[in-house]
Structure 1
Amino acid sequence: MNHDGWLSALAHELRRRGVGGDAARQVVAEAAVHLRESGGDPMRVFGPPPAYASAVADSVGRPRRRPGEVLLEARGITKKYGRRPVLTGVDLVVRSGEVAAVIGANGCGKSTFLSICAGLTGADKGEVRVRGSLGYCPQDGGTADFLDAGEHFVLIGAGRGMSREEAVRVGDARASALDWTPGRGRQARHLSGGTRQKLNLVLAGLGEPDVLLLDEPYQGFDKGTYLDFWHQVWQWREAGKAVVVVTHLLNRLDQVDTVLELSPARKAVA
């Protein structure tokens, strides 16, 4: 199927699933850009139009739920490494059903801030409050070299009240949504950087945590998987979760609810 035929079929499938108007045009236009940039076969990049339309229908073009209670509140977060200040009085509030983007130049403290919110790094001053459970996807690390994907699913799932069978089933399904089929017996140390990030992202969402902290989780993703990642973020938002994404890619800022800019002229806008 050529690009035009695939895009026409996608538009038809979106309409059939109740996504129309500007929302459908935006999805089709974005898919067209990815296909043009990749130069690949649409079936390889995105899969069959019905399956792709089904994956996005729950996250686009439908009325959004109103943001609810505060699930993450960071106030006055300050951190120094030696004499070098990294964060100074940073505030962020994210409610149920909201996505927050954390942006800024390299070295401005984005990963440090997220690690503090996750409870992995201590702040010099300030306080973080999290209501409910938390999932964290780091930019680097986060996996055990000598465990395969299924063993990761079982380990993390057990800590979140999931049975072995449920953890493997859900983990495999989430991996498939990112165009990845985990191989049993293949240790994490043998995975590519992009595949490790897929594993980290799947682990962050196991057990349906209330708050998700995602530190540039799409590193190494191809265009199609990058789009799948954002659709997953919007599905989490629709499910009432609070999602914080550290990103350098500013073309998605119109798709989030709050932007926290970490820089000498730090500011938060809603």
Structure 2
Amino acid sequence: MHHAYGRREVLRGIDIDLRAGVLVGIVGENGAGKSSLLKILSGELRPQRGTVNHRGRFGYCPQDAVLNDALTVRQHLEFFKTAFALADLRHAEGIMEALRFAEYADERAGLLSGGTRQKLNLTLALMHDPEVLLLDEPYQGFDWDTYQRFWDLAARLRAAGRSVLVVSHLAYDAERLDELWRLDAGVLHPNTAVTA
């Protein structure tokens, strides 16, 4: 796929296949086009050339949490439960327990810390148990304990056969990944330090 902003071409022939049961990382400098790539993969942005094919449900966790500050955590979950046509919130509650923020269920989003807002952002992306998960800087604002819990959760998703794509500007914990790619000059380059 290809995409440009005016004359600035940020994606130049990206071809990526997210296989089931893999944990993939894409790194690149700020402005390299990582967020644009995820927006295209999620359907939020249309590529100027190329196509995107999805198999099954997907979840998208954008870099900036899109929350209503007036609503509580529980109200966000209820809203997304209706949007996803879910029978209950058991899966969401399990994620909240894993990320250790269940006690904030009745707190308004506007009063949450940045890290806790990001936990809610991640929970909303995961609560419908997607087969493909697209994560843009998902651990931004996390403390060390939550950061470790995030990777444990990502490993469990991979073990359950999910495809997980994590985008970041730095290659943290590269050994946890099955594949690591570098986005540079609009092209994906394999990182030879990590092999599938």
Q: TM-score, normalised by structure 2?
A: 0.90
In structure 1, the gaps of 5 or more residues are 1-76
Residue 184 of structure 1 deviates from its aligned partner by 4.4
The answer for the alignment partner of 2:140 in structure 1 is 219
2:171 aligned to which of 239, 244, 250? 250
TM-fit CA distance, 1:121: 0.8
SS at match of 1:94: coil
Per-residue deviation, 1:143: 1.7
1:207, distance to aligned residue in structure 2 (A): 1.7
Please point out which of 86, 89, 111 is paired with 2:10: 86
SS in 1 for 2:104: coil
Runs (4 or more) in structure 1 with deviation over 6 Å come to none
SS in 2 for 1:259: strand
**Paired residues for 1:55-94 under 5 Å:** 77-94=1-18
Larger Rg: 1
* 2:142 partner letter: F
Structure 2: 5+ residue runs without aligned partners? none
Q: Distance in 2 between matches of 1:251 and 1:199?
A: 22
The corresponding residue for 1:154 is 78
TM-score normalized by the length of structure 1? 0.67
CA drift at 1:257: 1.6
Whole-angstrom distance in 2 between the partners of 1:107 and 1:249: 13
Does residue 1:207 correspond to 2:128, yes or no? yes
Deviations 1:137-179 (A, max 9, x none): 111032222221111111212232312xx21x43233112112
Other-structure match for 1:121 = 45
Instruction: Tell me the secondary structure at the aligned position of residue 250 of structure 1.
Output: coil
Provide the rounded CA distance (Å) in 2 between the counterparts of 1:247 and 1:266: 14
1:267 pairs, out of 186, 189, 192, with 189
Asked if 1:234 is matched to 2:139, the reply is no
Match of 2:35 among 111, 115, 120: 111
Structure 1 residues 98 and 184: CA distance shift in structure 2, 3 A: closer
- Alpha-carbon deviations, 1:85-121, whole Å to 9, x = none? 1111111111110111011111101111011100001
The Cα RMSD (Å) is: 1.6
Distance in 1, Cα, partners of 2:124 & 2:112: 15
Q: Is the 8 Å Cα contact of residues 149 and 182 (structure 1) preserved in structure 2?
A: no
Per-residue CA distance 1:54-76 (angstroms, 9 max, x = gap): xxxxxxxxxxxxxxxxxxxxxxx
Structure 2 counterpart of 1:183: 104
Matched, 1:100 2:11: no
Letter of the aligned partner of 1:176 in structure 2? E
Identity of aligned residues (%): 40
> CA 1:176 to 1:142, structure 2 compared with 1: closer, same or farther past 3 Å?
same
Number of residues of Structure 1 aligned to a counterpart in Structure 2: 191
* Superposition deviation, residue 185 in structure 1: 4.1
CA distance in 1, matches of 2:151, 2:105: 27
1-structure distance, mates of 2:27, 2:131: 22
Cα 1:171–1:266 shift into 2, 3 Å: closer
Looking at structure 2, the residues matched to 205 and 233 of structure 1 have their Cα atoms a distance apart, in angstroms, of: 11
| Greater share of residues in helix | 1
- How far apart are the structure 2 equivalents of 1:139 and 1:90? 21
For 1:184 and 1:203, the matched residues in 2 are separated by 13
